[in-house]
A and B are shown apart, each in its own frame.
Chain A
Amino acid sequence: MVSMNRYAAAGAAVLLALSAVPASAQGTVNVYCSVQVEWCTLAANEFQKATGIKVSMTQKGSGETIAQLKAEAQNPKGDVWFGGTGDPHLQAAEENLTEAYKSPKLAELHPWAVKQNTDSGGKTVGIYAGALGYGFNTELLAKKKAAAPACWADLLKPEFKGEIQMANPNSSGTAYVAIATLVQLMGEDKAFDYLKKLHANINAYTRSGTAPMKAVARGETSVSISFVHDGVTEALAGFPVKTATPCEGTGYEIGSMSIVKGARNMANARKFYDWALTPEAQKLGAQAKQFQVPSNKATPVPPEAPKFADMKLIDYDQAKYGKSAERKRLISRWDNEVGNLPKP
């Protein structure tokens, strides 16, 4: 029995040591983070360093975060939702899951970031923008002697059969931006005809929006439908990746940030929000090798970032496609007409 007591004591000691998280006098802030994990971690650490406020952070896709916010509406656990495509943020604003806040930093932002704020009744704000396009593995394409895709129409070519990856719109905001872009570009019925044809060339619909680009980098698929800035990250890491934006025109995301309605740490949530709009905070994106265009005019645009001026951008209707009913309708149409199709 003596030995058992000793085990119990040891166990208790381990428990104590593990739970001895330094409690902070400044309190805490809970952040749902929908950008890449490296950026999330860096932002959390730097904010903690700058303010002494402890950051608890969970990283998950924007589609999953909005589901979580709905689940927790009665009993909110998060304070700030940082990053991720703008549509789910607008949807959260519409469904009253987030709180309006007028940051003093608003005046320093690009007009597109402010428009996101006015569109949502002040409940969300743009923190970065990024264009949709393709990533492709140059080695794999050379081996197949296939030309790099330059237009949406190219993706339907038979040589890309089973070679393209995109994310599943049920969990990924990236994939939803792709569908909404095609709908705005071609008209809805034609866009779904296109997606049905594209289905024959898709090898997987991933859960995460950034996974297809990583698969391209690792040579697991030749082409991905992704945000082009994700390709820059992989190319800098030494993988044979290049990107292109479609010749017919393409959509873009306004990565956004919102404060959760009924946040338990409201004062700290606002501090985080203001901080995230400063050039100092927005520079961290490039430091974490993420090359979106930052929303504060004073933030230096990283030279590696894809230039909007070089692309043919459509006039993406953020307000319309951020509507909850529209998103639900388009995704369930995709589920019924495309996602559930058998593998060709």
Chain B
Amino acid sequence: MARGFVSEGRRFLRDPALLGAVVILWLLLALFVLYPLFELLVRAFSDEGKFTAQPLLDGIADPSNRAAFVNSLILATAVGVMGTLLGFLFALTATRAGLGRRWLTLLDATALLPLVSPPFTTSIAIIFSFGPKGFISHHLLGFDNVSAYGFWSTALAETLTYFPIGYLTLRPILAAIDPNLEEMAFSLGGSRWRIFRTVTVPLCVPGFANTFLLLFAASLADFATPLILAGNSFAVLPTQAFLQITGMFDFKGGAVLSLMLLVPAAAVFLLQRYWVGRRVYVTVTGKVGQRSRTRAMAPGASVGLVVACALVAIVIVYFYALLVYASFVVAFGANETFTWRHYGVIFTEGLPAIRDTLIIALVGMPLGGFYGVLVGYLLARRRFPGRRAMEIVTIINYALPGTIVGIAYLMAFNDPPIALTGGMLIIVACYVFRYSPTGIRATVALLQQIDRSLEEASSSLGAGSGETFRRVTLPLIVPAFFAGLGVVFIRSMTAISATIFLVSISWTLITVRILENMTELALGPAAAFSVFVIVVVFAVVWGLSAVLARFRAPTAGAAARSLLGG
């Protein structure tokens, strides 16, 4: 064992390309992942240079912080439960209702729409629908004085935004249950409902737990929705931390709130990843049955499922239609004359934000794609000391709520020695290190399916590890490269929770402008910006799918899926 380790270390030292790549990666990870987190902890645990837990204890004792903590957990639980149910509904319909291919594609498209949209779209649509002058609450139902702010609207918006995560998690699980199993139970005389209860659902239990935790984490980290919809009476941790920093510039208060958020977020992440996420029930029946239409679903139940899904899909489509409509009228609910004005605004006043966002996205894209395949390759194919540690460190910024990452970056890079705030680099770095784990996972998944002998052949013919990577491995993992690059691009266009702390007078983002517009109640330009982002993102997703489709490797599909799931 010891000898093996020594020889591994020696081989590592003798391979300059590998050594160089690992050292550079560690330097980058130390700078952009570990150092900011360290700074955050230092701020939370020190007072005038002395180590103390007092600020944290004060923060926990503060009744408004405690209320925000409890509210965050309540909201996350509600979104977890409702999102899992909705995700299960969609997954069940997709796998059991016998829909045709075209309908399935349509179902997929509506379900994925919320995942690739900028963060405020559902919130804006809910205000347009259920606000005091809302389309549904005021125009259709005639209510005059309703409030669209509070727990229920926030929970509804987050459920609609994040349930696709549940759908993507549960669908493969349902699809993997051998239909013969249900068929057998059926021919043994079980009623359909009984089979559903005693066979189908139990087999999904680990999937439910997994989905619940993923949704719980997504809601816990969500910043944009509660900022718009929760209002004063239902404060949650990420928004409290944001107001603490932007309103008061209270770094310590922000750090303490971040820490209060970090504990449940880290707990849920670890639970999901290392315990629940690994439990999958596989059904072993010897012969894999032909995926024929299963009789385990009564025709009536199928129709019910399809109708329920269609209703949800209609709500989603309606929300987006409302958004498009609102972007073309003077003031939704008050003056609905057609106008191009809002698009005029975003392409004149808003142009710097659009330009900055596109530059940041285009710079971050290749960097993120390359970083993803490089790390993925090293983790999957190379042996070097500290490999496990590197795997964990690369995932930290992805696992933590964006608010924490943003505040940590602000604290670490605001003052010399490393003053990066105000520049573009800090925003690009934030995106690359936060959103590349999707590319890393896609690369690892692809490489696990490619035989090592190809690379070994290259090495034995005398190529160094750098050349082997470039000429043999890289072409094989191009799909993962594009997937990683796509995720970084999409998130650069749509994310806000971390980068809201990092924008500056010279570099701003469309999502931040949307938020400013929302704050000023300029809902028209906010809607127009959102429509613009959705159009760009869809064009890019479509383009990338076309690129990925050219690599007819069976794994390209998996990479394409990870593009959306990330």
B359 and A19 within 8 A (CB):
yes
B245 and A238 within 8 A (CB):
no
Rounded to whole angstroms, the CA-CA distance of A134 and B132 in the bound complex is: 20
- B123 to chain A minimum Cβ distance, whole angstroms, is 14
Of A57, A219, A342, the contact of B334 (CB 8 Å cutoff): A219
Contact residues of B between 330 and 355, Cβ < 8 Å to A: 331, 333-335, 349, 352, 355
What are the interface flags for A26-68 relative to B under an 8 Å C-beta threshold, 1 for contact and 0 otherwise? 0000101000110001000000000000001111100110111
Residues of A within 8 A of B410 (CB): 71
Contact residues of B between 50 and 107, Cβ < 8 Å to A: 63-64, 67
| Interface of A (DSSP majority class) | mixed
- B352 to chain A minimum Cβ distance, whole angstroms, is 8
Q: Say if the beta carbon of A15 comes within 8 Å of chain B.
A: yes
Q: Say if the beta carbon of B149 comes within 8 Å of chain A.
A: yes
Q: Say if the beta carbon of A317 comes within 8 Å of chain B.
A: no
B422 and A72 within 8 A (CB):
yes
How many residues on A have C-beta within 8 angstroms of the other chain's C-beta atoms?
55
- A281 to chain B minimum Cβ distance, whole angstroms, is 19
> On chain B, which size bracket covers the interface?
35 or more
With contacts A220-B131, A221-B132 taken as known, whether A77 is within 8 angstroms of B506 at the C-beta atoms is: yes
Of B233, B366, B414, B521, the contact of A211 (CB 8 Å cutoff): B521
Q: Say if the beta carbon of A299 comes within 8 Å of chain B.
A: no
Residues of B within 8 A of A63 (CB): 247
Contact residues of B between 515 and 530, Cβ < 8 Å to A: 516, 519-522
Q: Say if the beta carbon of B421 comes within 8 Å of chain A.
A: yes
B349 and A37 within 8 A (CB):
yes
Contact residues of B between 233 and 259, Cβ < 8 Å to A: 233, 243, 245-249
B520 and A211 within 8 A (CB):
yes
Q: Say if the beta carbon of A300 comes within 8 Å of chain B.
A: no
Q: Say if the beta carbon of A70 comes within 8 Å of chain B.
A: yes
What are the interface flags for B413-431 relative to A under an 8 Å C-beta threshold, 1 for contact and 0 otherwise? 0111001011000000000
What are the interface flags for A1-43 relative to B under an 8 Å C-beta threshold, 1 for contact and 0 otherwise? 0000000000100110011000000000010100011000100
- A36 to chain B minimum Cβ distance, whole angstroms, is 8
Chain B residue with Cβ nearest A342: B233
Residues of B within 8 A of A70 (CB): 249
Chain B residue with Cβ nearest A41: B349
A170 and B64 within 8 A (CB):
no
- B544 to chain A minimum Cβ distance, whole angstroms, is 11
B247 and A74 within 8 A (CB):
no
B521 and A11 within 8 A (CB):
no
Residues of B within 8 A of A287 (CB): none
Q: Say if the beta carbon of B282 comes within 8 Å of chain A.
A: no
Residues of A within 8 A of B132 (CB): 219-221
B232 and A215 within 8 A (CB):
no
A238 and B233 within 8 A (CB):
no
What are the interface flags for B217-241 relative to A under an 8 Å C-beta threshold, 1 for contact and 0 otherwise? 0000000000000011100000000
Q: Say if the beta carbon of B504 comes within 8 Å of chain A.
A: yes
Residues of B within 8 A of A215 (CB): 521
With contacts A75-B419, A171-B246 taken as known, whether A59 is within 8 angstroms of B516 at the C-beta atoms is: yes
- A270 to chain B minimum Cβ distance, whole angstroms, is 18
B519 and A208 within 8 A (CB):
yes
What are the interface flags for B116-145 relative to A under an 8 Å C-beta threshold, 1 for contact and 0 otherwise? 000000000000000111000000000011
B508 and A58 within 8 A (CB):
yes
Rounded to whole angstroms, the CA-CA distance of A30 and B233 in the bound complex is: 37
Q: Say if the beta carbon of B505 comes within 8 Å of chain A.
A: yes
Which of A146-154, A199-207, A306-314 forms part of the interface with chain B? A199-207
B331 and A218 within 8 A (CB):
yes
Of A75, A143, A219, the contact of B422 (CB 8 Å cutoff): A75
Q: Say if the beta carbon of B147 comes within 8 Å of chain A.
A: yes
- A137 to chain B minimum Cβ distance, whole angstroms, is 10
Q: Say if the beta carbon of B276 comes within 8 Å of chain A.
A: no
Q: Say if the beta carbon of A78 comes within 8 Å of chain B.
A: yes
- A157 to chain B minimum Cβ distance, whole angstroms, is 16
Q: Say if the beta carbon of A268 comes within 8 Å of chain B.
A: no
With contacts A74-B415, A170-B248, A206-B519 taken as known, whether A218 is within 8 angstroms of B506 at the C-beta atoms is: no
- B417 to chain A minimum Cβ distance, whole angstroms, is 11
Q: Say if the beta carbon of A275 comes within 8 Å of chain B.
A: no
- B244 to chain A minimum Cβ distance, whole angstroms, is 9
B335 and A162 within 8 A (CB):
no
Contact residues of A between 193 and 247, Cβ < 8 Å to B: 203-208, 210-211, 214-215, 217-221, 238-239
Residues of B within 8 A of A162 (CB): 145, 147
Rounded to whole angstroms, the CA-CA distance of A11 and B367 in the bound complex is: 13
Residues of A within 8 A of B334 (CB): 217-219, 239
Residues of B within 8 A of A36 (CB): 520
A67 and B246 within 8 A (CB):
yes
- B504 to chain A minimum Cβ distance, whole angstroms, is 6
B520 and A67 within 8 A (CB):
no
Q: Say if the beta carbon of A145 comes within 8 Å of chain B.
A: no
Q: Say if the beta carbon of B362 comes within 8 Å of chain A.
A: yes
B233 and A168 within 8 A (CB):
no
- B474 to chain A minimum Cβ distance, whole angstroms, is 11
B415 and A18 within 8 A (CB):
no
- A259 to chain B minimum Cβ distance, whole angstroms, is 15
Rounded to whole angstroms, the CA-CA distance of A217 and B414 in the bound complex is: 40
A171 and B147 within 8 A (CB):
no
Residues of A within 8 A of B416 (CB): 74-75
Contact residues of B between 354 and 404, Cβ < 8 Å to A: 355, 358-359, 362-363, 366
Max count, chain B CB within 10 A of own CB: residue among A67, A75, A218, A340: A218
Residues of B within 8 A of A14 (CB): 358, 362
Residues of B within 8 A of A210 (CB): 520
- B351 to chain A minimum Cβ distance, whole angstroms, is 10
Chain A residue with Cβ nearest B349: A41
Rounded to whole angstroms, the CA-CA distance of A340 and B331 in the bound complex is: 32
With contacts A30-B505, A335-B64 taken as known, whether A220 is within 8 angstroms of B232 at the C-beta atoms is: no
Rounded to whole angstroms, the CA-CA distance of A208 and B243 in the bound complex is: 12
Rounded to whole angstroms, the CA-CA distance of A335 and B67 in the bound complex is: 14
Rounded to whole angstroms, the CA-CA distance of A103 and B31 in the bound complex is: 45
- A156 to chain B minimum Cβ distance, whole angstroms, is 18
Rounded to whole angstroms, the CA-CA distance of A258 and B88 in the bound complex is: 57
Of B147, B231, B243, B414, the contact of A71 (CB 8 Å cutoff): B414
Contact residues of B between 499 and 517, Cβ < 8 Å to A: 504-506, 508, 516
B421 and A204 within 8 A (CB):
no
Of B63, B247, B359, the contact of A67 (CB 8 Å cutoff): B247
With contacts A30-B505, A60-B516, A218-B333 taken as known, whether A74 is within 8 angstroms of B419 at the C-beta atoms is: yes
Rounded to whole angstroms, the CA-CA distance of A340 and B231 in the bound complex is: 12
Residues of B within 8 A of A41 (CB): 349
B521 and A204 within 8 A (CB):
no
Residues of B within 8 A of A343 (CB): 232-233
B422 and A77 within 8 A (CB):
yes
B520 and A32 within 8 A (CB):
no
Rounded to whole angstroms, the CA-CA distance of A14 and B363 in the bound complex is: 11
B149 and A67 within 8 A (CB):
no
Of B133, B247, B516, the contact of A220 (CB 8 Å cutoff): B133
Rounded to whole angstroms, the CA-CA distance of A210 and B520 in the bound complex is: 7
- Across the A-B interface, the 4 shortest Cβ-Cβ residue pairs: A67-B249, A170-B247, A214-B521, A220-B132
Listed in ascending order, the chain B residues whose CB lies under 8 Å from chain A are: 63-64, 67, 131-133, 144-145, 147, 149, 231-233, 243, 245-249, 331, 333-335, 349, 352, 355, 358-359, 362-363, 366, 410, 414-416, 419, 421-422, 504-506, 508, 516, 519-522
- Contacts beyond the supplied A15-B359, A37-B520, A163-B145: 13 A-B pairs with Cβ under 8 Å: A32-B505, A60-B516, A64-B247, A67-B247, A72-B421, A72-B422, A74-B419, A77-B506, A170-B248, A203-B147, A204-B147, A204-B232, A219-B132
A-B contact pairs, 6 of them (CB 8 A): A67-B245, A75-B416, A77-B504, A163-B145, A214-B520, A219-B132
Listed in ascending order, the chain A residues whose CB lies under 8 Å from chain B are: 11, 14-15, 18-19, 30, 32, 36-37, 41, 56-60, 63-64, 66-68, 70-72, 74-75, 77-78, 143, 162-163, 168, 170-171, 203-208, 210-211, 214-215, 217-221, 238-239, 335, 339-340, 342-343
